Structure 1
Amino acid sequence: MVALLCIIAVLTIATYFYLKQPQFGALPEGKRMEMIKKSPHYKDGKFRNFVEKPIISEGYSFTGEIWKALTKKYPHTEPQEALPSIKTNLKAIPADRNVIVWFGHSSFFLQLDGVKILVDPVFSGNASPLPGSVKAYKGTDIYTAADMPEIDYMLLSHDHYDHLDYETAKAMQPKVKHVICGLGAGAHYEKWGYTSQQILEKDWGDKTQVKPGFIIYAESTHHDGGRNFTSSQALWLSFYIQSSAMNIYYSGDGGYTGRFKEIAEKYPPVDWAVMECGQYNKAWQSVHELPEEVALATVELKAKNLLPVHHSKFTLAKHPWNEPLKQITALSKSKPYHLATPMIGELVDLDNNSQVFKQWWNDVK
């Protein structure tokens, strides 16, 4: 018994000091915490979704899912060979072009009406605080912070490791004018050297006036957040970007709810919807959409174009790595929107609703 207690004590102390490493960020405190407490979405010590649902779906159990993850083998969860990609020179893109360049998973560069925006960048090759535990697929990690131009706004949907990467955030700090993130997430950036002038923390419904005719709205999603054993201390967001050129919606992570119809009613028409489509499982359907829900949500948004993301870089679920692309392609054939499925790094011309993209995943083993 004494030996067991000693082992537990050593593990507890080791965990405590490991969690003090900078990649885990910081919890909000002081004035930031006082600001958070004023939010109607912060209750009983944590942020809440509009409608609270259990993360694990009915008929499934948390322990059962853990056991399956540890003992069951799932086929083709990673590609056997490098994914194809294109190295676009982002710094050479003319300022008057409206484009998106996707970097795999949910990271992408958006240039819209002359404004340069970087979303959920992860360039370290890892989506976990444990080195080497969730590694990027071969061929997917071709961009670095050094490849990025000066960024007007860096957007963070939520503070999970596959969206907020410590190494990338540190490297981008000198290049970023402003970060727009959810309430509480500013504590991470502040710990990592960002100034108070750079950090813009937002609640659902808040907006940032970029310039005349250009507004970035922080909107809701149905998800959670956290970087250690304390969850939901930083708010999770989606973004509606309204400009004189066109309107973009980025879903962030989150399960299907009626919010897409509400977005369509609240704002001008969505020209491009950048939607989470990958790393899903019926067991946690409440916080990650299935492909059929992505297609439905895009229709409910009345979006003209769909760019699916959150796939093809990290394995965070047990479906085949290329299943999200196969399913959303099949589901989109009869839908009123145009589907864009670029390779990593391929330039997406936002002014061209008929741009054709190769089904590149069919050529990868």
Structure 2
Amino acid sequence: MAPLSLPSHLPRSVGARPAPDAHTASAQFRDGAFHNSEPASLLAEESRFRLARDFARKGRSGKPSAPIPLVTPSIIKGAAPCSATWLGHATVLLEVDGHWVLADPVWSSRVSPFTSLGPKRHHPVPLALAGLPELSAVVISHDHYDHLDLRTVEWLTQNQTMPFVVPLGIGAHLRAWNVPEDRIVELDWEGSFTTADLTITCTEARHFSGRWLRNNTSLWSSWVIAGPTHRTFFGGDTGYSRAFAGIGERHGPFDLTILPIGAYDHRWPDIHMDPREALLSHRDLHGGVLLPIHWATFDLAFHPWAEPVERLTAEAAEVTLALPRPGERFDVTGALPSSPWWRP
């Protein structure tokens, strides 16, 4: 069934909603919305008005005090067995057994339906879209603006040929943005898509979705990206979940786990992980190297800018961390970036 259009006065970037009965076969879908397997409160004891007021008053604590050092990525001729380039926030260019996979690509300067309002980048993307290699797939974790970006999707649709592999319901946005039907792969949790010898599996996350007033009309997910010899886990945006232990048992161990460490707060403890929970998730997943994401690029919470990575490094006993500057490529079997570049 065709997706539901939104009122014409809204920006095109809002996207579209799936038809109400489009995903009733999913175990995650009931009463007209998707649900977490573990209940998750979005704003514990807080109104949206009070939250907006506190954001307006919080000052510069969530912003860096100096320019963020960037690295211009060096794109090699062929993708490596297991490497990654963090491009800021949750955008990661992955190399898995000869395939290039781009996760949560966002190149816009603001993560908002509007071009002049909303969270603005602390640093530019260190790689131009035109500098991307030929991709085997794009994976998207959910439809929030800091993970699903209209302008980036448009460019990738026009200039690449790879499929967009997404959770249920996000296809409605892509269709509204003129992505061809044969390039849209929508999956439920534990559903898989295979291209050549690369298998991409949609796995559980603990979060929510929504681009306007109604939440949870599309699903949210993490991703397993597996080749013949290497496996990567991309967490996207999630709170801690007991489901990660099961994912580790079914799909692990992982050479690389990519997990969010920022934008946490006591007001939304279930939908964003803090650094301690990221480390716990990494262990549950049977991860090798941990790449922390979802910090440094946008101001989305109340903690100081570098607090997530400082807490992570202080608590990461016996966990192997990769701590690249935005744009810095690393190989999981080589020397990992570890210098505290975020300190003045």
Using structure 1 for the length normalisation, give the TM-score. 0.87
Matched, 1:331 2:318: no
Q: CA deviation at 1:144?
A: 2.8
**Residue 360 of structure 1 corresponds to which residue in structure 2?**
341
Whole-angstrom CA distance in 2 between matches of 1:65 and 1:23: 24
- 1:55-66 equivalence runs, <5 A: 55-57=42-44, 60=46, 62-66=48-52
Partner of 1:68: 54
2-side partners of 1:96 and 1:313: how far apart?
26
Deviation at 1:143, TM superposition (A): 2.5
Greater per-residue helix proportion: 1
Residues 127 and 162, structure 1, Cα contact 8 Å, conserved in 2 = yes
Q: Residues 89 and 147 of structure 1 are in contact (CA less than 8 Å); yes or no, is this contact kept in structure 2?
A: no
Shift of 1:67: 3.5
Aligned counterparts of 1:324 and 1:68: Cα–Cα separation in 2 = 20
Q: Please point out which of 59, 74, 93 is paired with 1:109.
A: 93
For 1:349, the equivalent position in structure 2 comes to 331
Q: What's 2:255 paired with?
A: 271
1:1-365 matches, cutoff 5 A: 16-19=7-10, 21-29=11-19, 34-57=21-44, 60=46, 62-70=48-56, 72-90=57-75, 92-132=76-116, 133-138=118-123, 140-174=124-158, 175-212=160-197, 214-332=198-316, 334-335=317-318, 337-352=319-334, 354-363=335-344
**Aligned sequence identity (%):** 29
CA distance in 1, matches of 2:176, 2:47: 36
AA of the residue aligned to 2:172: A
Give the AA of the match of 2:176: K
The whole-number CA distance in structure 1 between the counterparts of 2:40 and 2:222 is: 19
Q: Contact 1:223–1:254 (CA<8 Å) still a contact in 2?
A: yes
For the residue of structure 1 that corresponds to 2:55, the secondary structure is helix
In the TM superposition, what is the alpha-carbon distance from 1:62 to its structure 2 partner?
A: 4.7
User: Within 2, Cα distance between the matches of 1:18 and 1:82?
Assistant: 37
Name the stretch that deviates more: 283-292 or 144-153.
144-153
AA paired with 2:156?
M
CA shift at 1:16, angstroms? 4.8
CA contact (8 A) 1:56 1:286 kept: no
Aligned-partner SS, 2:62: coil
Structure 1: runs of 5 or more not aligned: 1-14
Question: 1:313 offset after TM fit, Å?
Answer: 0.7
CA distance in 2, matches of 1:359, 1:330: 12
Residue 63 of structure 1 deviates from its aligned partner by: 4.7
Farther-moved stretch of structure 1 (142-151 vs 306-315): 142-151
**Which has more radius of gyration?**
1
Structure 1 residue 73, shift from structure 2 partner: 2.5
Cα gap change, 1:201 to 1:216, in 2 (>3 Å) = same
| Per-residue deviation, residues 63-100 of structure 1 (Å, max 9, x unmatched) | 54343223x3345211133210111132x343345321
Q: How far apart, in 1, do the equivalents of 2:237 and 2:80 lie?
A: 30
The alpha-carbon deviation at position 263 of structure 1 amounts to: 1.3
Residue correspondences, number: 337
Maintained 8 Å contact 2:141/2:147: yes
Query: Please, which moves more after superposition, 322-331 or 154-163?
Result: 322-331
> Aligned residue for 1:4?
none
The 8 Å contact of residues 95 and 114 in structure 1, kept in 2 or not, is answered as yes
